[in-house]
Amino acid sequence: MLTMQVQNVPWLVIVITLPLVGSLLCFLLPQQAKKLGLMTAFTIAASLIGLLFQVLDQGAQRYTVGGWDAPLGINLYVDGLSLLLLLMTALVGLGISVYATAYFNRDKTVYYWPLWLLLWSALNALFLSADLFNLYVCLELLGLSAVALVAIAGGADALGAAIRYLLVSLLGSLFYLLGVALIYHSVASVDIIIVAERIDATPPILAAMGLMSAGLLFKTALFPMHFWLPPAHANAPAPVSALLSALVVKASFYILLRLWLDVFPLPQEVLGQFLGLLGAAAVIWGGVQALRQTRLKMLIAYSTVAQIGYLFIAFPLATSIAWKGALYLLLSHALAKSAMFMAAGNILHFGGHDTILKLDRVAQRLPLTVAAFSLAGVSIMGLPPSGGFIGKWLLLNAALQAGEWWWALVLIGGGLLSAGYIFKVVGFAFTQTEASHEVHHVPAAMQWTAFMMALAAILVGLIAPWPLALMDIGLPFEMVVNKGSNG
Amino acid sequence: MAFFYALTGVALFTLGLYALIIYAHLMRKILAINIMGSGVFLVLVALAARTQTVPDPVPHAMVITGIVVAVSATALALALMLRLLEVSGCEELAEEPKE
Amino acid sequence: MSLSELLLFFVPGFPLLLAIPLLHRLLPRAEYLAILPAAMLLSLPENIFVETPWLLFGAGLGSNTETRLLLMMSVVLWIFAAFMQNVHASRNSNSEANNYHSTYFFLTLSGHLGAILANGLVGFFAFSTLIGYGFYGLLVETGNDTVKKAGRIYICFIIVADLLLFEAALLAATVTDDMGFDAVRAAMIDSSVTGLYMTMVLIGFALKAGFWPMHHWLFLTFRSVRPATAMLLAGVPVAMALLGTLRWLPLGEISVPGLGLLIQGIGGVAIMYTVLAVLIRRQHNHPAAYVTLTATGLFVIALGAVFIEPVLWDLYASPMFYAIVLLSVGLALLTIIIRWTDTTASNQKPLDTVLLYGCWSEKLISWGRRMGFELLPRLRNVFLVYVQSLWRVSFWQKNLQIGEYYLQRWSLAVTILLLIGVTIVTSLIIE
Amino acid sequence: MSLDSVFPLFILATSLVPGLIIFFLPESAVRTRISLNMGGALIKVFLVGIVIWGVFNGHHYETRLPFLPGLDLVLRIGALSILFVTLSTGLWLVTTVYAIGYLEDSPHRSRFFGFFSLCVTATIGIALAGNLITFLLFYELLTLATYPLIVHRGTEEARHAGRTYLVYTIMGGALLLIGTVWLYGITGSLEFVHRGFVSAIVDTHRSSLIIIFVLLIAGLGVKAALLPFHGWLPQAMVAPAPVSALLHAVAVVKAGAFGIVRVVHDVYGVEVAVSLGVTLPLAVLAAVTIIYGSVRALFQDDLKRRLAFSTVSQVSYITLGIAVAGPIATIGGLVHLVHQGVMKITLFFCAGNLAETLGIHKISEMNGVGRRMPWTMAAFTIGAFGMIGAPPLAGFVSKWYLGLGALDAGQDWVIFVLAGSSLLNAAYFLPVLHAAWFKEPVGQWPHEHIFGRMETAWALLLPPVFTAFLSVALGLFASVPFSPLEWARFVTSLEFAP
């Protein structure tokens, strides 16, 4: 009986509206903000499990909002790709919510919870929406709430970073909107399925493709346009920088991936190679810069720049194994990076500073945090037991089978660079020096969430077959199939 | 006829882009963002004038949503700028990366 | 596994067990007890053989009439040595040194008995190594610095000898898989490696017995070593080496005239050398040394003869064997008599001539220590210093900083975006 | 899930579960920590006993866990893995006793024993790995678990050693990863099969197979301390004695050597390796390492560094035995894997005792130490003579088979390498013994701890004596049915059967 009922409940809508309602409630009742926020987080996770069962049972879902069909109405579409990202958001979101309850003091929580749930709803909507303009709206909502969250820290450099991030985000969205306008002009529709059928390689479409890619690259902070990411992620409070690195940056990558797979017309060798090149440059540049940093959070932020570079290496290869590898890297990076930022938050809270050179005897006094940092580091480096290794293995496999061995060298080089800066930090944690500074006790909740997230990053490596099977629902990566119909 | 409007829209967009990048003062940057926004909206409206007489309603819907988003974004930018002025006393966006 | 076979194990095993300081401190008169199983074995008339497949690739122990004679000789010798040992122990108060001295005593005893009884190549090789190292301990434990120097030379000879015998055993193993003496001798008659095998065995045992060209340590030790060890010196390592040659080499079956002549030549020169040394008394050595050298010289001559004329072997076999027996017992008596009559021997001034081999090894070690053989690491340090300067943090720091700043300045973004602006305009115009 | 398929997991869990629990034990919970450690070790020894009996009677133990599309995590107990599992299980038990005694009241023991158990789990995992991907997983886990042990003391010197160790092993791991992925790309499967699984594609992919072989051997050579990659071993001697005893004499170094055995036997197969012409260069590299390691050991004054360089040269015997590619040499190589482990761990235990009880680190300070600590020095002497290859001891057996195998395979130059290295071994071990037994102690010991009537704590004394006795027993009773020699013969018969 229960399963019958669970089937036909419109989980898609619930997953989007729940966080919206939650954020409104948190805004209206600031005293109970913490309890309400946590409760909403858990209910979102539960509803996502319901969606998971629904999709596992009936395959890819399509839901027309308010009954109007494509040309006018907005469609919600969920397949393996978006479902996996939704689950990732839920898992990371849950961890960050629990961490945030212990991290923020009285006045900051009032601002944090409404904005965070707003951001969460924007993410869910973004992963589910099936038309280009709706993607633009979610992108904007995401950008604004993320900027507001960065500005919570209130310091001069936090505000500077927030404004810079806002300007870049708006720039990217406007580019994207102009692209949508051009596409609408030639195809007279914004729904992805219809656009995919009618699209062909006319100059305005090519221009639209270039514009939209540039816009999304801005928001994903790929190599040349990454300058806004490190200050924003480093100066934001720990849970915010965790969700920025883990989720927000991935959303625009998801849109680019979706467009690349479904919408963009002909197979794109030139643009693919260009993106791969930028990705490789990002891996090297991010790694070298991370090695150079003296502050722990800046190091982790530059590590994000490098890891994003990895994701773009899948574009020139463009086989289903490569996409799955990139997606797996995305998933394990989200878990590992959130754990790392939480660990950095603990260290900052504990010692009042996060300069790497003075990480005195942290290993002895914060064993759980250092363990979390090292486990997350194992996943970032891509060493076997972790999820990062699975992603790296799939990408290496795809690269060598496609015969383009230089991508494999970039992957291995990136792994070595990341080993360099991870062990630089872990090495310092074993120091024997006696540093004299007053010490604040770090609440257990913060340490344990960091450790659990890092453990999840490792365990996701051991249960690889299930997420990989999940990715195949709705055949998102068989782009050759629908491309052929009108290519 | 609609073709010229689209062309001016694109021109506005490029002008706004140029201003956004060159000027350091935050107020100028926010104005530049608005100009780019209006440029895009002009292109959208111009393209809505289909060959047949009655213009196509969907771009208009998009423009309205775009305007709402642009307004809220500008409000947030101005609030942040004022806050930054309060805290750090200068409204230029610091160009050289601090060491 | 009858009682007598068990006894066979006990003969070398019991002294080995007693070598542990803990045990031999408990038993009164431990030295004599150690010899007891050998004496009991003598009392059993018949020949006893025991095969131990699971012990070190099937080494076997066995006693027949010939070995029993040798065993009787060794029992007599070791009783004398035990007596001298007790006399010395009672005089010297330091019990600690005594402990270690008796440990080496037991080790040598068990090696000696085992070597006599062993009838497998590997068994003999194992026990002769035991004699070597045990005797080294006896030598170096007590003597003054000349004996220590002699001990160091002796140990070098022992190591090289063991290595050669190890290779010879390997060669034998490639030819036959049964390592018994007579099996090996039979296989060695017509195999391709015989020549190499025989030279290795001869050189190996020559080193151990101190034949003429390598006799330095023999002279040195006889000069100032205490009676017990001096007596053992003549009896144990030298005699066992000679026994080894008889056991390992396929005598009497093949004729190797060239080798035979060479060996006889060496024997003759050895005897002439000793006669010359005695006449000019240049090295005022212990007479026993000269007697050993002449005995080994004669033995070598006989060996050469057998090689030239294999049929002589059945003629020479028993006399050579008796020569070994006489050599050890006779020398033992000789040392005791001389030691009692001539008390001045002990305060001889130590030999001042620094021996050739000794200084070579010191020089090599000190050169190595000075060089530290760190040639490679020194090159590596130079390279590291160079890399360090290349990677001067300030040099790279500045560049990376500029790189980052250049990116910050947006101008790169400007070029990309204006480019896209141009594409939009062209697309609209064409369309 | 019949019992046979779960058994390898049990063996793995007996050291993984205590390790994870120990991590969370407070520092003061000494009793529970000791019981956990010892309990885990004893159960593992018992399980391995059952498994040896099972494999001998033809049982087939294999655990297969889904890991990647088309690739599984396979833990299979074959004949070769038994050899390495028994070695590391037995020596882990002994080293746990030693470590408990050694770290009597030092800080961070929970952290130490946690990582210690993780290391052994990784080693057992390497031994039981059924395909190259599982091997790679545990190989990297071993690197991660050993780093904190080297850096355990937290001194600047320890951290420098840890950094060097990481640079070498992470680089090695990367090479191994590339080789594995490339091999998987070509052959499509990574399962270990008795005479290798690349024979089908040897002629089509000849050059890439050679390059893959070089990559795999370079990756494994880092841990097996082959010449160009041996730099980390002498520096890692700064770690506490139990770490240098179990890890750098047995677990880590043997993992590399074991990996090379696996690659040559179960990935390529000996015939294919010989046909590719890669075994001769490997043999030459191993020979050069043997001589280089011994010569460097000759001039070291620090005792543990001398033992470290001796390990560098001794482990290459195994590679030499395998690279000579003859059946008897392979027996020699495999049996040396066990014997060298037992003898070398004795030497490291004694070095640890000297450092712990008398504060001796240099050989020049070792004059007359035989009088002060007779039992320890007796064990050291047996270990040293074993290394030189004196007859009744374990070293003699493996050198015997190596020499015999070299002659049998017609590679006569190997005999000179073995002879030269035995001479060098004698040259750098005998002066140590001479100094210890026959020289008079000069003045006071650096800083002496009196442990009551015994020369040192029983937990420190028992292990070296036991392993010394073991090395004598392995030598004397070499051809007893269940001895390592017979097991090595059984393994080689599988590999070389016509």
Domain boundaries, chain C: 3-368, 374-430
Question: How many CB atoms within 10 Å of residue A475?
Answer: 16
* B with D: touching (≥3 Cβ pairs within 8 Å): no
D235 half-sphere exposure, CB direction, 13 A CA radius:
20
Judged against a pLDDT cut of 50, whether residue A442 lies above it is answered with: yes
3-state secondary structure of D267: helix
Name the more confident of D443 and C349.
D443
Judged against a pLDDT cut of 80, whether residue C373 lies above it is answered with: no
Burial (0-12, 13-18, 19+ Cβ within 10 Å), C393: exposed
Question: What pLDDT is attached to residue C351?
Answer: 45
Select the residue from A223, A278, A292 to test the C interface by mutation, using most C Cβ atoms within 10 A: A292
Question: What pLDDT is attached to residue C428?
Answer: 61
Cα-to-chain-centroid distance, residue D245: 10
**Cβ-based contacts of C420 with chain A (< 8 Å):** 175, 207, 210-211, 214
> Between A and D, how many residue pairs show a Cβ–Cβ distance under 8 A?
73
Sequence-separated (6 or more) residues with CB below 8 Å from residue D455: D357, D372, D373, D374, D375, D376, D461
Average pLDDT of the segment spanning A436-444:
74
Which tens digits make up the pLDDT trace of D204-256?
888 889 999 999 999 999 999 888 888 888 888 888 888 888 877 778 899 99
**Cβ-based contacts of B35 with chain C (< 8 Å):** none
Average pLDDT of the segment spanning C45-56:
68
Using the 8-state DSSP alphabet, how is residue A215 labeled?
A: H
Question: What pLDDT is attached to residue A328?
Answer: 93
Q: Does A271 touch chain C (CB under 8 A)?
A: no
C-alpha–C-alpha distance, residues C202 and A400, integer Å: 62
C-alpha–C-alpha distance, residues D171 and D176, integer Å: 9
Question: What pLDDT is attached to residue C404?
Answer: 67
Sequence-separated (6 or more) residues with CB below 8 Å from residue A68: A74
Which tens digits make up the pLDDT trace of D380-396?
999 999 988 887 788 88
Q: Which residue stretches of chain D have pLDDT < 70?
A: 1, 497-498
Question: What pLDDT is attached to residue A429?
Answer: 74
**Cβ-based contacts of B22 with chain C (< 8 Å):** 414
What is the dihedral sign for C-alpha D396, D401, D407, D410? negative
Name the more confident of C137 and A322.
A322
* Reported confidence tier of residue C353, pLDDT bands at 50, 70, 90: very low
**Pick from A303, A325, A319: which is nearest to A420 by CA?**
A303
Lowest mean pLDDT among A195-199, C141-145, D87-91, D327-331: C141-145
* D231: closest CA of chain C, how far (Å): 10
**Pick from D356, D386, D377, D372: which is nearest to D471 by CA?**
D386
Select the residue from D398, D476, D489 to test the C interface by mutation, using most C Cβ atoms within 10 A: D476
Using the 8-state DSSP alphabet, how is residue D248 labeled?
A: I
Average pLDDT of the segment spanning C243-266:
79
**Pick from D343, D346, D328, D320: which is nearest to D396 by CA?**
D343
Query: Does residue B41 sit within a domain?
Result: yes
Mean pLDDT estimate for chain C: 73
* D171: closest CA of chain C, how far (Å): 18
Lowest mean pLDDT among C95-99, C345-349, C400-404, D285-289: C345-349
Q: What is the CATH number of the domain that holds B39?
A: 1.10.287.3510
Question: What pLDDT is attached to residue C23?
Answer: 73
* B96: closest CA of chain C, how far (Å): 6
Mean pLDDT estimate for chain D: 87
Query: Does residue B44 sit within a domain?
Result: yes
Which residue shows structure tokens 């190797």?
Answer: C256
**Cβ-based contacts of C397 with chain A (< 8 Å):** 292
pTM: 0.87
C-alpha–C-alpha distance, residues D175 and A416, integer Å: 11
Question: What pLDDT is attached to residue C230?
Answer: 66
Q: Does C352 touch chain A (CB under 8 A)?
A: no
Pairing of strands C48-51, C60-63: antiparallel
**Cβ-based contacts of B46 with chain C (< 8 Å):** none
C-alpha–C-alpha distance, residues B34 and B38, integer Å: 6
Lowest mean pLDDT among C249-253, C353-357, C407-411, D22-26: C353-357
Task: Report percent pLDDT > 70 for chain B.
Answer: 86
Judged against a pLDDT cut of 50, whether residue A486 lies above it is answered with: no
Q: Inter-chain contact B40–A174, Cβ cutoff 8 Å?
A: yes
How many structural domains are present in chain A?
A: 1
Q: Most distant CA pair in chain D: distance in Å?
A: 71
Which tens digits make up the pLDDT trace of D24-62?
888 888 888 889 989 999 999 999 999 888 887 878 888
C-alpha–C-alpha distance, residues D276 and D89, integer Å: 36
Sequence-separated (6 or more) residues with CB below 8 Å from residue A35: none
Query: Does residue B68 sit within a domain?
Result: yes
**Pick from A42, A40, A86, A43: which is nearest to A61 by CA?**
A86
Question: What pLDDT is attached to residue C352?
Answer: 43
Q: What is the domain range of residue A451?
A: 267-471
Sequence-separated (6 or more) residues with CB below 8 Å from residue D253: D223, D224, D225, D233, D247, D311, D315
* Reported confidence tier of residue C362, pLDDT bands at 50, 70, 90: low
The structure tokens listed for D187 are 């052959």
* C395: closest CA of chain B, how far (Å): 16
**Pick from C165, C167, C245: which is nearest to C209 by CA?**
C245
* Reported confidence tier of residue C259, pLDDT bands at 50, 70, 90: confident
Judged against a pLDDT cut of 80, whether residue A42 lies above it is answered with: yes
Question: What pLDDT is attached to residue C412?
Answer: 55
Lowest mean pLDDT among A129-138, A292-301, C54-63: C54-63
Judged against a pLDDT cut of 60, whether residue C283 lies above it is answered with: no
Average pLDDT of the segment spanning B61-72:
91
Which tens digits make up the pLDDT trace of D268-280?
888 888 888 889 9
Name the more confident of A284 and C284.
A284
Sequence-separated (6 or more) residues with CB below 8 Å from residue B90: none
Tell me, what amino acid is at C263? I
Average pLDDT of the segment spanning B12-32:
85
Q: Inter-chain contact C55–D391, Cβ cutoff 8 Å?
A: no
Question: How many CB atoms within 10 Å of residue C191?
Answer: 16
Instruction: Please name the member of D371, D403, D430 whose beta carbon is closest to the beta carbon of C96.
Output: D371
Q: Give the residues across from D71 on adjacent strands.
A: D68
Which tens digits make up the pLDDT trace of A212-265?
888 999 899 888 788 889 989 989 999 999 999 999 999 999 999 988 888 776
C-alpha–C-alpha distance, residues C185 and C247, integer Å: 9
Integer angstrom CA distances of residue A308 from A396, C17, C391? 16, 71, 27
Judged against a pLDDT cut of 80, whether residue C334 lies above it is answered with: no
ipTM score here?
Answer: 0.82
Q: According to the per-residue pLDDT averaged within each range, which of C10-19, C69-78, C132-141, D8-17 is highest?
A: D8-17
* Reported confidence tier of residue C348, pLDDT bands at 50, 70, 90: very low
Q: Inter-chain contact B14–C421, Cβ cutoff 8 Å?
A: yes
Query: Does residue B26 sit within a domain?
Result: yes
**Cβ-based contacts of B54 with chain A (< 8 Å):** none
Contact D146, D247 (CB under 8 A): yes
Q: What are the φ and ψ backbone dihedral angles of D21, each rounded to 5 degrees?
A: -65, -45
Cα-to-chain-centroid distance, residue A315: 17
Question: What pLDDT is attached to residue C347?
Answer: 42
Question: What pLDDT is attached to residue C346?
Answer: 43
Shortest CA distance from B16: residue in chain A: A171
Tell me, what amino acid is at A277? L
Burial (0-12, 13-18, 19+ Cβ within 10 Å), A22: buried
Tell me, what amino acid is at B50? R
Question: What pLDDT is attached to residue C234?
Answer: 65
Radius of gyration of chain C (CA): 34
Average pLDDT of the segment spanning A414-422:
92
Judged against a pLDDT cut of 80, whether residue C180 lies above it is answered with: no
Q: What is the domain range of residue B82?
A: 2-88
Instruction: Please name the member of A140, A163, A173 whose beta carbon is closest to the beta carbon of B77.
Output: A163
**Pick from D414, D395, D394, D390: which is nearest to D404 by CA?**
D414
**Pick from D47, D32, D117: which is nearest to D85 by CA?**
D47
Which value, to the nearest 10 degrees, does the dihedral of the CA atoms of residues D456, D461, D462, D466 take? -160
Question: What pLDDT is attached to residue C354?
Answer: 45
Average pLDDT of the segment spanning B4-8:
81
Q: Could you say which residues from 35 to 74 on chain B have a Cβ atom under 8 Å away from some Cβ of chain A?
A: 36-37, 40, 43-44, 47, 56, 58-59, 62, 65-66, 69, 72-73
The structure tokens listed for C288 are 């026993």
Which tens digits make up the pLDDT trace of C310-321?
777 777 777 777
CA angle A35, A39, A43 (to 5 degrees): 170
Name the more confident of A279 and C224.
A279
How many structural domains are present in chain B?
A: 1
Integer angstrom CA distances of residue A110 from A35, A95, A149, C184, C207? 11, 19, 12, 95, 94
**Cβ-based contacts of A390 with chain D (< 8 Å):** 68
Question: What pLDDT is attached to residue A474?
Answer: 72
